[in-house]
């Protein structure tokens, strides 16, 4: 559960990273940093912080912060009532992002590992490493997960409409209780 204390600790840390990355935010945005902990109770391993700039019927933009070692759990954005699922582009602004998507698996060891003890819920092994200024577009209904390097990461996300409730997570515990669309 996300307690007030955890929220304050993690949102404050996230703001330090956003400042370090040179991302300008209004006071209102600074007060409204969101913390996604997916109801798993291990925010240091699975979770992330986000600032939502806009989310309309047609487009969405967010800033994501992954603290050192934090991972966004594997999920996909499916078609809803005949409407294509969410398409999203991740652009690294600061740090390093290890992104894993459906597709040709990397031969040998991955550059980073899924959270310990949760490997079965992280199936994608097609590796994309993003450094500042590099970006990658994930097409609708494509499984993906991503993790920050040891120094953490700040990532801009540009996408079509974001709808948390329809996302499909590989980990059934998140699918049942802890969805947060990224
Ligand atoms: Zn996503």
Structure confidence at residue 164 (pLDDT) = 78
Q: Whole-angstrom Cα distance, residue 95 to residue 106?
A: 22
Q: What is the mean pLDDT of each run of 10 residues along the chain (182 residues)?
A: 94 98 98 94 96 95 97 95 94 98 96 96 98 98 97 98 89 78 68
Q: Whole-angstrom Cα distance, residue 11 to residue 63?
A: 13
118 CA to centre of ligand 1 in angstroms: 19
Q: Whole-angstrom Cα distance, residue 154 to residue 70?
A: 12
Structure confidence at residue 181 (pLDDT) = 64
The model scores a pTM over 0.85: yes
Q: Whole-angstrom Cα distance, residue 85 to residue 80?
A: 6
Structure confidence at residue 96 (pLDDT) = 98
Paired with 48 in beta bridges are: 36
181 CA to centre of ligand 1 in angstroms: 6
24 CA to centre of ligand 1 in angstroms: 24
């Amino acid at each position: 559960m996300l307690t007030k204390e955890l929220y304050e600790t993690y949102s404050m840390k996230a703001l330090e990273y956003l400042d370090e990355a040179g991302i300008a935010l209004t006071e209102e945005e600074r007060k409204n940093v969101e913390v996604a902990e997916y109801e798993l109770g291990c925010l240091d391993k699975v979770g992330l912080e986000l600032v939502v700039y806009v989310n309309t019927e047609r487009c969405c933009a967010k800033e994501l912060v992954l603290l050192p070692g934090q991972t966004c759990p594997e999920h996909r954005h499916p078609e809803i009532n005949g409407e294509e699922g969410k398409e999203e582009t991740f652009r690294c602004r600061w740090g390093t992002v290890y992104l894993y998507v459906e597709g040709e698996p990397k031969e040998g060891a991955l550059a980073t590992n899924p959270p310990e003890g949760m490997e079965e819920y992280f199936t994608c092994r097609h590796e994309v490493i993003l450094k500042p200024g590099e970006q990658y577009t994930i097409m609708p209904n494509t499984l993906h997960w991503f993790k920050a390097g040891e120094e953490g990461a700040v990532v801009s996300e540009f996408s079509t409409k974001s709808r948390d409730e329809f996302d499909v997570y590989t980990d059934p515990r998140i699918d049942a209780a802890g969805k947060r669309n990224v």
